[in-house]
Structure 1
């Protein structure tokens, strides 16, 4: 028996069953679901940071889409906010590292 206590993709219990094991699950809703999505975002971002694997980055995008939907954020509004912030402060394309301010 292995304990996980984490949000997983919807088909994971089926995949576990196909491997001859039984997954014990519950469905997170409301505040628990939103909190577990935030935890999952950190988990997936850390995995991408460690490996640089594009599949891990795809997982980050999947979690971001789920957060957007769970929070009721409008995709167009998020893009507007992103673009507005990029216009005001720039993006990350140049690789600028702030070492200190004197």
Structure 2
């Protein structure tokens, strides 16, 4: 809605999206969830391990290292942080290094 605020009226966007204005403002004030915070921390750890490995480890090895360090995670979850979807293809973060 922020993106289109100059193009459309706020009331019209709420009406089209079937969202109460009060609900939208409540959502804006709400902080990040515990899961979002944990995912951000996990992503930092994944990137650190990836760099430590000389950019060689994949998600299975990174998962094993994190589990040895008592970090609760699964391989699919690590893979989700390790890779990103770009134009329908899965690619390794290139900006890590």
Shorter-chain TM-score: which interval? under 0.3
TM-score, with structure 1 as normaliser: 0.24
Higher CA-based Rg: 2
TM-score, with structure 2 as normaliser: 0.25
Structure 1 or 2: more strand by fraction: 2
Structure 1 or 2: more helix by fraction: 1
